[in-house]
Amino acid sequence: MRIVWLIVLVLVVGAGYYAYGRLERVQPAIGGLNTPAFVGAEYRHVFRFSDKDSGVRHARVWLEAGGKNYQLADQEYPGSVLTGAELGIERELEVVVKPKELGVPDGSATLQAEVTDYAWLPNTTVLQIPLTIDTTPPRASLLTGLTYVRRGGSELAVYTVEDKVAKSGVSVGNKFFPGFVDPHDAKRHLAFYAIPTDAPADVKPVLLAVDAAGNQTRIPLSISLLERGFPADTLPLTDEFMAAKVAEILPGFQGSALDGYLKINRDVRKENDAKIAEVCEKSSVDRLWSGAFTQMPNTHAGASFAQRRSYVYGGKVVDQQTHMGYDLASTSHADIPAANDGVVVWTGPLGIYGNAVIVDHGLGLFSLYGHMSEISVENHRPVNQGETLGKSGTTGLAGGDHLHFAMVLDGVFVDPLEWFDKKWIADHIETKLSDRVSSGG
């Protein structure tokens, strides 16, 4: 008899323990971002529901706006009231808010999520996320008219945008050139942009304004693209030259001089150009330069901008690359002056460019000086036009003592000759910065 009572006692205690567990009062959890957000044409949000004691049973998500509720999701998850659900599983639920399809007006709204667990006395958690519904594209107005721009060249767009715009600038294909507030007129914005040398013939620059909700305004720029050809050249390679450059740029490389040189000319070149683009992502919001840029004095130009080079070894073309700058030579170890006022943002080795200096001139414009034998300026230091940055040399892939000079606009190499030209500066930039902006340049 005692054994029977003992069994009954065990069963009662076990049932009580089980019931106690099924009557747990731990709230289920809702994970994911819960910060206020702006909602434009479409807004996606991912909720993550979990419950460590009895499992997630039910979740629903709705939008409350203008005194109305808009159901977005209602999901029941597998399990049973008796045993609950499988523990340790996080349930993920994505909802898409499309205000116009739902008929939700612009203004304040609340995204709400509710999750219930499988406890016998269900526990419920509710999360509320404040939203601002804004489906109206930002207002923008282009002030510059018809503009003539050369392939590989630079240009300036002047425009106005309303205050709520999160970003604005000019989009050329998949490249975005950010705009800056005109320091002399806070109502206007300035965006320098470029037509890359490899842009398609039908490229169409577009003024792009995006607000915090992701609404976009796109206004095509009126341009006439001036096509041009670029020079070509052939460079013979010798074992001696390649071995020297591999030892300098890829010390410890295991392989032939040709293999090492091709790795430098292809892979290292891409890495260096990516680094230049990274350095040129952040530019001063102020225009630091004035007037035409100056060419290194007493120099003649060797290789020119966008020159297509064929590298020949053993009578065969082994590689082709594009030279995105000017090679300027005078005497060995000649002083290299800053082409215009700015701030130094890079000093040091830069692969194929050797010892290099990059100067930020503001509003997305940079100048690059390569193959230097000496660098005489420090990083982050302001420099004046004509101030010596260092001396010319043969570092990097230079075949002789010279300066590799390049102009970079938001990571895109552009033709320096335009920036050396006082008339081009006056016609394409200064005129647009004056009150006569409607005439273009």
Is residue 332 situated within a structural domain? yes
CA-wise closest residue to 137 among 41, 4, 264, 37: 41
| pLDDT score of 207 | 98
Is residue 424 situated within a structural domain? no
Of 133, 165, 192, the one marking the end of a domain is 133
Q: At which residue do the structure tokens 């032939």 appear?
A: 256
Are 323 and 191 contained in the same domain?
Answer: no
Full residue range of the structural domain in which residue 212 is found: 140-228+430-439
Is residue 419 situated within a structural domain? no
Are 329 and 350 contained in the same domain?
Answer: yes
Are 368 and 277 contained in the same domain?
Answer: yes
> pLDDT, tens digit, for every residue of 406-417?
999 999 999 999
Are 210 and 262 contained in the same domain?
Answer: no
What is the Cα 418 distance to its own chain's centre? 26
- Is 26 within 8 Å of 51 (Cβ atoms)? yes
Q: What is the CATH number of the domain that holds 46?
A: 2.60.40.2550
Position 198 pLDDT exceeds 50? yes
Q: Is 143 helix (H, G, I), strand (E, B) or coil?
A: coil
Is residue 19 situated within a structural domain? no
Of 133, 168, 195, the one marking the end of a domain is 133
Determine what percent of the chain is predicted with pLDDT higher than 90: 83
| Residue 261, both tokens | 């040189």
Position 441 pLDDT exceeds 50? no
Are 153 and 129 contained in the same domain?
Answer: no
The CA dihedral of 142, 143, 145, 148, to the nearest 10 degrees, is -90
pTM (2 decimals)? 0.84
Are 82 and 177 contained in the same domain?
Answer: no
> pLDDT, tens digit, for every residue of 85-106?
777 789 999 999 999 999 999 9
| Residue 221, both tokens | 């720029």
Task: In whole angstroms, give the CA distance from residue 365 to residue 367.
Answer: 7
Are 210 and 248 contained in the same domain?
Answer: no
Position 139 pLDDT exceeds 50? yes
Position 133 pLDDT exceeds 50? yes
Are 340 and 212 contained in the same domain?
Answer: no
Is residue 423 situated within a structural domain? no
Overall number of domains in the chain: 3
Are 67 and 163 contained in the same domain?
Answer: no
| pLDDT score of 7 | 52
Are 284 and 378 contained in the same domain?
Answer: yes
Task: In whole angstroms, give the CA distance from residue 103 to residue 350.
Answer: 56
Of 82, 102, 133, the one marking the end of a domain is 133
Per-residue pLDDT band at 435 (split at 50, 70, 90): low
Mean pLDDT of the chain: 91
Position 348 pLDDT exceeds 60? yes
Q: What is the CATH number of the domain that holds 327?
A: 2.70.70.10
- Is 183 within 8 Å of 189 (Cβ atoms)? no
Mean pLDDT of 63-83: 90
